[in-house]
Amino acid sequence: MTRRQQGNISIEFIVTLLPFFVMVLVVIETCRFMMTGSMLDVVLATATRKTVHVEDRENVVESMRAVLDAQTFPLVDSSRLQIEAIYYDSLESLKKNAGSSTYIQQPFAEYQVSYPYQVLFVEGWGDGFERLTKLERKILVAHERN
């Protein structure tokens, strides 16, 4: 009778271990996803800090890229970051979303940083969810002229 009990205990242990292990992996992946999103906020703040004071006809995106390449951020590979900028002449053009992709002394700019996120434990797990495979952050900056 004790041998049969030992078999039942082994089966119960395995049946409860699998869901527990999956739950632990989901918690770890969720924490990693949230930390990567937070680091992307830090990356964007660091990159746009320099863009408040810009020179005439400066390539701001290249300046931001240089700032990011000089830094090291945990969980974020700066070479995989994509930076985009849209420049606006006025608040009215911002409201109408009528911006330009080149900087010519526009007072406002919207910078976007995108990062491809890859799920750590299960390959292809997040492919069905676009929000899980690409993290994006945007910030609006008012440029000051020297």
pLDDT per position as a tens digit, 40-62: 888 888 888 877 777 767 788 88
Q: What are 124-134's pLDDT values in tens digits?
A: 665 666 666 78
pLDDT at 135 over 70: yes
Alpha carbon separation from 36 to 15, 25, 39, 119 (Å, rounded) = 33, 16, 5, 11
Number of domains composing the chain:
1
Tell me the pairing of strands 82-88 and 134-142: unpaired
Q: Which residue from 143, 47, 46, 43 is spatially nearest to 103, judged by alpha carbons?
A: 143
- Tell me the average pLDDT across 4-12: 75
Q: How many other C-beta atoms can be found within 10 angstroms of the C-beta atom of residue 33?
A: 18
> What is the crossing angle of helices 2-49 and 60-70, to 10°?
130
- Tell me the average pLDDT across 56-82: 81
pLDDT at 20 over 90: yes
Q: Which residue from 48, 74, 9, 73 is spatially nearest to 141, judged by alpha carbons?
A: 48
Based on the number of CB atoms within 10 Å of its own CB, is 29 exposed (0-12), middle (13-18) or buried (19 or more)?
middle
Q: Which domain covers residue 25, as residue numbers?
A: 3-142
Question: What are the helix (H) ranges across the chain?
Answer: 2-49, 60-70, 91-96, 130-133
Please report, to the nearest 10 degrees, the dihedral formed by the alpha carbons of residues 71, 130, 99, 87 taken in order: -10
- On whether the pTM is more than 0.85, the answer is no
* Residue where the block lists tokens 């985009």: 84
135, 37 contact by CB (below 8 A): yes
Structure tokens at 51: 């863009």
pLDDT at 146 over 70: no
